[in-house]
Chain A
């Protein structure tokens, strides 16, 4: 290591604290399941104990993250002579905002090329780029009428038309520090390092952070802890990536897509052929014969795939056989047309007419036998099946797509795949870009919804727990982040349980006994101590509030992502607007579920007090639940200043 010293890991004291927290949590939750669930009120008792188990697992995953909390020493010096492309991705951000970022990017001290990647294709941005002397790029023609894959597609397109060894990715509103490359390129001297992620920090956020924009716990201990397990992940901006690693992902992704596509097409081909056959009936014997030839070709291809023959060869032979079959049908048709024409010619006996030569020359015949025109091509299902037995990846603009496109948040999925291939990542804990956070509650909610949807999509499509190539710890590190997005369901139980007790007197636990509090309170206290120790004075309460208070967003994200992955419904995906959405009054409707929950909690408290007065419930029971209500209200109330927030310039101490 350099003179600056070695990387630091947690002290034995902190590890004892982590272990103690986990043990106390297990002590509580195991006891809850075995001895304290009020099974007669299972409909609330079970959801509550499940929610508590969820929270325990969450804090165990946090403990595991902190177990290897890695605070890196000063970074190795950046070697001279590397080539770097700086990519600024934009879609609909104001031109002056993009220009400001591009100007700063051009001033980065390490030699590089700056590119504005404009998915909005705005001429005014193009001329602004020219004025600044930075490069400007839009999608190539290959993307016309193909899935565009938002930001991932934008980056994938740029990767194919540039050639720097390293890529710095910046969102349009992330203004980079001139030193950003000097501080990070040194890490790539380790040839297995594919990614260096730096924090996202927002300048337009007041001290009180009403929208919970800063993420000091994430861009700090959490990423540092993941880094300790070689699982620090890509967050979409302010990160430097190794081109070779990305391109390798593109190639392996291509191979996987081709294998899956060909195998699937060949597997279902039998059914497709059967259906086509029954639809045709018996009056087209040539086409039926062609279908039989296709069936033989399918069988041959299947056998070849099983033997492990290269897919390009298998599919080439398959396409050739299909073309021959189509050609046979056309020839048969041509034969009968020829016969008709000859008969007509014989009848009219016009001198010099050579219908055959005019109508049915070789070019015409091969045109007719072409995949789209032939009688086989006329059968849509057959045509689709035939096209799928190929290595062209016709459904995509480019056969190789480096950045993952399985999710609206391409970043996490991409780094998970990189880790799966054995690449390393680094989290460099130093703010080297200054960004803009959403300035109103609506934009903030849209952004959180998108992150959550993207994360759940990855969880459902490429569950880290079963990804080959990842270490157990890496799997758990990715899982930890996904797990945290399931908090919405737990929040429902935490709101419902006190309400149900205060109104109906139904207790989800057998008793609020000494046993209960003796096990719960030490765990909760130690858990908070762990947070305080780890965060070292940076405020984490805002984050804790939002993780429960945004429960409607998390639930909506889970539901829409589920529908998207399994029912192929669109996500109703929205790009996060970078400019403030002006509106007349506070948009209370955006937080209607939280308001409703708060009203319900207050009403339930009133009912609970009346019931206590009437002697229908115990002082301890009502007391505990009123305290619980206060806690819930303290969490949920975060949405009130959020809705009233009008941007940094309007807050007194901004």
Chain B
């Protein structure tokens, strides 16, 4: 299983950048990757959705699963730069009532 690209910002926040379609095929992969990241000590995670053309409910499920893992490890998971499609799915499922989206991956943890 190939992983999505990650990078670490100055303030030890890990940014994951899923590309293309984050659907039922890709979701289990992202789920695993987020869990592995948290298990290896990176509990402050940003999912940068700028290159995510499409997300479905399985993709959202992976994000929620990552959020749980990060929170349990004392960190947090934040979403950055959603495309219009991602925004509309977040609103359709009301997940936007739980998760805020930030404009830039680098600023998602500003002040925390």
Q: Which residues does A use to contact B, with CB under 8 Å?
A: 160-165, 243-244, 247-248, 250-252, 254-256, 258-259, 308-313, 316, 320, 390-394, 398-400
A393 CA to B67 CA, complexed, in Å: 10
Q: Is B57's CB under 8 angstroms from A248's CB?
A: yes
Instruction: Tell me the bound Cα distance from A258 to B96 in angstroms.
Output: 12
B94: which A residues are within 8 A, CB to CB?
252, 255-256
Query: Taking beta carbons and an 8 Å cutoff, which residues of B are in contact with A?
Result: 24-25, 27-28, 31, 56-58, 60-61, 64-65, 67-68, 71-72, 76, 93-100, 112
Nearest CB to that of A259 among chain B residues? B97
Chain B interface helix/strand/loop/mixed: helix
Q: Which of B25, B57, B112 contacts A251 (CB 8 A)?
A: B57
24 A-B contact pairs sorted by A residue (CB < 8 Å): A160-B28, A160-B61, A163-B27, A164-B24, A243-B58, A244-B24, A247-B61, A251-B95, A252-B93, A254-B64, A254-B95, A254-B98, A255-B95, A255-B97, A259-B97, A310-B99, A310-B100, A312-B67, A312-B99, A313-B100, A390-B71, A394-B72, A399-B67, A400-B65
CB < 8 Å: which of A247, A311, A398 contacts B58? A247
A310 touches B97 (CB 8 A): yes
Known contacts A398-B65, A400-B65, A312 near B98 by CB under 8 Å: yes
Q: Which residues of A contact B60 (CB under 8 A)?
A: 247, 251
Q: In angstroms, how far is the closest chain B Cβ from the Cβ of A321?
A: 12
| Residue from A164, A308, A316, A399 in contact with B64 in the complex, judged by beta carbons closer than 8 Å | A399
In the complex with contacts A258-B98, A391-B98, A399-B65, A247-B24 CB distance below 8 A: yes
Name the CB-closest residue of A to B70: A392
B71 near A392 with CB under 8 A, answer yes
Residues of A within 8 A of B61 (CB): 160, 247, 250-251, 400
A258 to B93, CA, bound (A): 13
Are B58's CB and A244's CB within 8 A? yes
The interface residues of chain B lying within 8 Å CB-to-CB of A164 are 24
Question: What separation, in Å, do the CA atoms of A71 and B56 have in the docked complex?
Answer: 34
Q: Are B58 and A312 in contact (CB under 8 A)?
A: no
Question: For residue B26, which residue of chain A has the nearest CB?
Answer: A163
Q: Which residues of A contact B112 (CB under 8 A)?
A: 316, 320
Q: Are A255 and B28 in contact (CB under 8 A)?
A: no
Is B93 a contact partner of A255 (Cβ separation < 8 A)?
yes
Partner of B56, one of A244, A310, A391: A244
Known A243-B58, A312-B76, A312-B99: A160·B25 in contact at CB below 8 Å = no
A244 vs B22: C-alpha distance when bound (angstroms): 13
Closest beta carbon of chain B to A423's beta carbon, Å? 12
Partner of A163 from the list B28, B97, B98, B99 (CB cut-off 8 Å) is B28
Contacting residues, chain B, for A391 (C-beta < 8 A): 67-68, 71, 98
In the assembly, what is the distance between CA of A165 and CA of B68, in Å? 25
